[in-house]
Amino acid sequence: MTDHQVYQYIVLPLIIFFARICDVSLGTMRIVFVSKGKKNIAPILGFFELFIWIVVLNEVFKSADGFVCYLAYAGGYAAGNFIGLNIEERLAIGSQLIKVFSTKDVAPLQKCLNEAGFGVTVVEGDGSTGKVKILYTVINRKTFDHVEKILKEFDPLIFYVIEDVRLVKSGIFPATKHDMPFYRFFRRGRPGK
């Protein structure tokens, strides 16, 4: 194999593959930041996403006769989506609204959530099997595992619904390690108390 063939069939496809992973992951993160109302960081991610994309696309067109480059381009796109979504899941950016429905006395659950630093609103409702109590709490996504543990300890079969929240203006949230000055620059809403 000549140096040119090594470059065209191994090196260039690997460069394209990893560059596509980077630009698609950045694009996925940009969309997540926009959907969460984080307007400050989305343009920065968009700049780097497009810059990488233009550079990679230029290399693909130069090597238009290389089917391996096309496969690397498509494979990098698929892997970039997967990796971008996993990064977003690990970052757990934003807030969630949890609605908990129970036919039991929810006062102990409300007390436990309040003691953990979560604000809780309780209302009565009519369910298909009778009267229910509905607890509402807005949490930072990073604290979901803690809240879920509290819910499961209260009732292992408890029914709850989770919705993403775009913007939170104020409320009661437990303090997290992310209540730091740099993070506050990108975050809207009141820091934990």
Q: What is the pTM of this model?
A: 0.62
- What is 29-44 written as a DSSP string? HHHHHHHTT-TTTHHH
Q: How far apart are CA 136 and CA 78, in angstroms?
A: 37
- Compare 129 and 25 and report the one with higher pLDDT: 25
Give the pair of three-digit tokens for residue 132.
């229910």
How far apart are the C-alpha atoms of 143 and 158, rounded to whole Å?
18
Residue type at position 81: N
| pLDDT over 60 at 104, yes or no | yes
Model pLDDT for residues 20-48, shown as the tens digit of each residue: 899 999 998 888 888 877 778 889 999 99
Q: What's the pLDDT at 54?
A: 87
Token pair of 184 as six digits: 């506050």
Distances (CA, A) of 128 to 5, 97, 102, 125, 159: 68, 22, 12, 10, 13
Distance in angstroms (rounded) separating the CA atoms of residues 109 and 104: 10
Average pLDDT of the residues in 164-180: 63
Strands (DSSP E) contained in 43-151 are 95-102, 121-127, 130-140
Residue 161: the pLDDT is 93
pLDDT at 173: 64
Q: Which CATH class is domain 95-186?
A: alpha beta
Q: Where are the domains of the chain?
A: 3-91, 95-186
Q: Report the phi/psi class of residue 116: left, alpha or beta, with left for phi > 0 and alpha for psi in -120 to 50.
A: alpha
Q: Exposed, middle or buried, 185 (CB in 10 Å: 0-12/13-18/19+)?
A: exposed
Amino acid present at 9: Y
The mean pLDDT value for 150-174 works out to 82
Residue 158 contacts residue 100 (beta carbons within 8 Å): yes
Q: What is the DSSP string of 127-164?
A: ETTEEEEEEEEEEEGGGHHHHHHHHHHH-TT-EEEEEE
